[in-house]
Amino acid sequence: MTILVLLLFAMGVAGCGEKASKEQVKDTLALAPEMSGEEAVASLEGEEVEKDAMEEFDTDFRMYDSMEDLLSQEGIRFGTLINCKALDDENYLELVKAHFGSLTAGNEMKAYSLLDQSASKAAEDGMPVMNFTQADRILDFAQANGIGVRGHTLVWDAYMTDWFFRKGYDSKGGYVDEETMKKRLESYITQVIWHFETKYPGVVYCWDVVNEAVGDSEGEYLAEDERHVRTMRNGADNPFYKLVGNDYVELSFLYARNAVDGLKAENPNVDIKLFYNDYNTFLDRKRDAICALVDSVNAYAVDGEGNPRRLCDGVGMQGYIGGYGSQAGCMNDSDIEKMRTAIELYASHGVEVQVTEMAVRNYENSDVFVKMHSDYYKRLFEMFLSLNQGENKPLTGISVWGLYDRPELKKDDYSYKMNGPYCGLFTEEYKVKQAFVNIYQLLKAKN
Ligand code: GLA
């Protein structure tokens, strides 16, 4: 990095473009504290020169072998995000078909999207009713193109419809009792898993059974709970914890496992893995709490012979890395090491690991930052691949959600903060970026 910056200055970078203001330099350093002041200035002013210094490569994604084919040789499925709007974007669909073996619906398979309030109100048995129209459009595309789907997500306290927990599914009704709530939850989980497997056999290959149940800080969970299961989110009660019980995570996994076993009884080929999914999964405190939660889930129920039933097969690490929420600084090498440690630790608890919503956050489009970002992706994938070298392959999937740049995002857009507008492996026009090339070259060198 230092050599690069010196080179840029020697080439007269400071004269390119506008002078960086003190404020801009300060903002840049806040996002990337590991940079020196000089590097920050260079990154803000050095656009043109560095472009010449960048490697030349073909920007057409059609010119590269399938990433899914390359990564699957390492035991890893390569996935990305889709939503119904993207089904009208032919170029996006081309990109997906060219390089991905797994899709995750952005919102369409979440409970708040599937649950149908008026149909639930009218149901004679009092159980929830779902409308699968939008989700099915995604499944139609996946099935037609031989792409697997990560089911995302059955139980998530955030953005959950409140009426699901109320008498008569009436937004103004009181909350139902624990027994009713458990029946509703079991019915919901069973119906959803059965719907997709019977209509699209073999397409959904795993489910995020529970999303983000582990709290980040004291006050969000009970001090004596080593699983750190959220009682609260953003100052409000977690309705699942409050109305289903402190074992709602374990129960949800039990219901999901029973549903999968029921399907298996009809067709032994059914193979759906059950995951616990969360963010900041490589930060020590959360990581250890997730291990305690996985252990608790897998000790929760016994089979006919009295042996513990394995309810949870895997941990999903969302994989938003750097500079937002409780994470400081972008593209820290230490985060790569923390991810390695976390994946190894989860695997030691007897589960597989998938990176489920990856975005290496990048907020700057200067050449220095774009290079930092692509170098970072290279080191990250070197680490991922090194984990799967032996017989044991703990990492079974990587899904990238920060797939392409979105320079149009405003600073106060949620996606701006969540991903960073320049997080992509591709540009906003789905042109290949150096980050993609770096991962590709790593894989080609192995094959
Ligand atoms: C979480 C969820 C995702 C998505 C993001 C926000 O990570 O798991 O489904 O809603 O938040 O983009």
Question: What would the DSSP string read from start to end of 149-210?
Answer: EEEEEEEESTT--GGGGBGGG-TTSPBPPHHHHHHHHHHHHHHHHHHHHHHSTTTEEEEEEE
> What is the reported pLDDT for 123?
98
The pLDDT tens digits for 192-221 are 999 999 999 999 999 999 999 999 999 999
Dist. CA 83 → ligand 1 center (Å): 13
Among 31-35, 96-100, 333-337, 382-386, the least confident range? 31-35
How many whole angstroms from 270 Cα to the centroid of ligand 1?
27
List, for residues 358-368, the tens digit of each pLDDT value. Answer: 999 999 999 99
pLDDT in the model for residue 323:
85
Query: Catalytic: 212?
Result: yes
Q: What lines the ligand 1 site, CB under 6 Å?
A: 152, 211, 279, 318, 357, 418
The answer regarding whether domain 60-446 maps to CATH 3.20.20.80 reads yes
Entry pTM: 0.90
Nearest-CA residue for atom 9 of ligand 1: 106
Domain ranges in the chain with CATH number 3.20.20.80: 60-446
Q: Count H helices, E strands: the chain?
A: 17, 11
Contact 279, 320 (CB under 8 A): yes
Mark whether 357 is an active-site residue.
yes
For the stretch 314-349, pLDDT in tens is 999 999 999 888 888 899 999 999 999 999 999 999
Q: Please check the confidence at residue 8 and state whether its pLDDT lies above 60.
A: no
Q: What is the largest CA-CA distance in the chain?
A: 77
Query: Catalytic residue among 108, 250, 357, 364, which?
Result: 357
In the set 39, 50, 108, 212, the catalytic residue is: 212
